């Protein structure tokens, strides 16, 4: 175990392979689907969850990660000689998980005044690989000898620039989750309109609408072209591997270079978009 560890939650959408390769510790969310409790990354993988979504009667519910679970982790780290914990959480505006981590940090300090372990809690202000990918880069920096302050500064700067643009091919799940009103979803389905949605600093907005499935990916690419820092890295997210390859190909033609990686969207995003969504994570203009 490193003397400086990276801790996060399963909404980061890091694959098990990347989690292991970079030594990032991930606390999984508990999810209830039609009254049955599951643990993300333990009881199902992404593709199994998409299948569950197509069959479920009610929108799945995710429970926040509790302060007790964080405290258990902090206790474990202290026992193993860890000196610094950098804990990056899902957007604080969309989950109380961030607050749980802060509470556990304070409780650990109160119970262990003699401890020289430092706990830093960082709000990603977002979801998915916005912070999953940032944690990979943070792990590389730590392994390269970077100090804690420079790693946290990197994370904060990254989150101040990161943006997401996404869309889905059916509006049923966005309607059920309340992301889109029932009236808007009905009109969209009737007219064949698909929303192009942005997530910036945890705030979800409809940037535009396009007509027909074939217009979705070109619209996502066009939005990124307009807002992305030229020449910067980008990532493609999907709930369907073929769609991911298609969007990656369109991006490569538009930008002249391929995405850094293509990943599967996890439960936090897929629950709201449904099992047929595509997304891009890219670097925009600094906001903080």
Band of residue 288 on the pLDDT scale cut at 50, 70, 90: confident
Reported as a single tens digit per residue, the pLDDT across 203-234 is 989 899 999 999 999 999 999 999 999 999 99
Checking if the pLDDT of 1 tops 90, the result is no
Range name among 48-57, 242-251, 252-261 with the lowest pLDDT average:
48-57
Checking if the pLDDT of 188 tops 80, the result is no
- Helix, strand, or coil (residue 113): coil
**Smallest Cα–Cα separation from 48: which of 266, 278, 201?**
266
Which of left, alpha, beta for 201 (phi over 0: left; psi -120 to 50: alpha)? left
- For the residues 185-195, what does the mean pLDDT come to? 63
- Helix, strand, or coil (residue 168): strand
- Contact indicator for 8, 135 with CB cutoff of 8 Å: yes
- For the residues 83-96, what does the mean pLDDT come to? 96
Band of residue 186 on the pLDDT scale cut at 50, 70, 90: very low
Band of residue 131 on the pLDDT scale cut at 50, 70, 90: very high
Average pLDDT, the chain: 93
**DSSP conformation letters of 36-68:** EEEEBTTTB-HHHHHHHHHH-SS--EEEPPPHH
- For the residues 36-46, what does the mean pLDDT come to? 97
The b-or-e profile of 67-81 (16+ CB within 10 A means b, else e) is bebbbebbbebbeee
Helices and strands (DSSP H and E) totals, the chain: 11, 13
The b-or-e profile of 172-197 (16+ CB within 10 A means b, else e) is ebbbbeebbeeebbeebeeeebbbbb
- For the residues 246-262, what does the mean pLDDT come to? 98
Band of residue 45 on the pLDDT scale cut at 50, 70, 90: very high
Residue 123 tokens read as: 């709000």
Residue 147 tokens read as: 């100090």
Q: What would you measure as the largest C-alpha separation in the chain, in angstroms?
A: 64
Checking if the pLDDT of 104 tops 90, the result is yes
- Contact indicator for 49, 36 with CB cutoff of 8 Å: no
pTM for the whole structure: 0.92
- Contact indicator for 188, 175 with CB cutoff of 8 Å: no
**Per-state percent for the chain, helix, strand, coil, to nearest 5:** 45, 25, 30
Checking if the pLDDT of 92 tops 50, the result is yes
């Amino acid at each position: 175990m490193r003397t400086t560890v990276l801790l996060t939650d399963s909404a980061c959408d890091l694959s098990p392979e990347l989690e292991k390769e970079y030594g990032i510790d991930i606390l999984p969310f508990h999810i209830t689907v039609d009254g049955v409790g599951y643990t993300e990354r333990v009881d199902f993988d992404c593709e199994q969850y998409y299948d569950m979504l197509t069959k479920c009667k009610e929108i799945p519910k995710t429970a926040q990660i509790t302060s007790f679970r964080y405290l258990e982790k902090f206790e474990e780290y202290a026992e193993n000689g860890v000196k610094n914990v950098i804990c990056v959480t899902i957007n604080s505006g969309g989950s109380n998980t961030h607050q749980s981590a802060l509470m556990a940090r304070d409780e650990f300090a109160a119970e262990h005044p003699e401890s020289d372990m430092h706990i830093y809690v960082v709000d990603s202000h977002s979801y998915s690989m916005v912070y999953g990918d940032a944690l990979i880069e943070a792990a590389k920096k730590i392994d390269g000898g970077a100090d804690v302050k420079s790693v946290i500064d990197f994370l904060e700067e990254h989150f101040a620039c990161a943006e997401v643009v996404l869309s889905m091919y059916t509006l049923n799940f966005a309607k059920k989750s309340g992301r889109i009103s029932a009236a808007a979803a009905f009109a969209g389905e009737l007219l064949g309109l698909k929303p192009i949605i942005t997530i910036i600093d945890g705030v979800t907005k409809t940037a535009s609408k396009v007509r027909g499935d074939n217009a979705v990916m070109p619209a996502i690419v066009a939005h990124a072209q307009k807002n992305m820092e030229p020449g910067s890295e980008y990532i493609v997210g999907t709930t369907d591997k073929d769609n991911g390859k298609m969007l990656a190909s369109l991006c490569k033609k538009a930008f002249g270079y391929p995405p850094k990686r293509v990943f599967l969207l996890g439960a936090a995003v897929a629950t709201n978009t449904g099992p047929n969504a595509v997304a891009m994570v890219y670097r925009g203009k600094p906001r903080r």
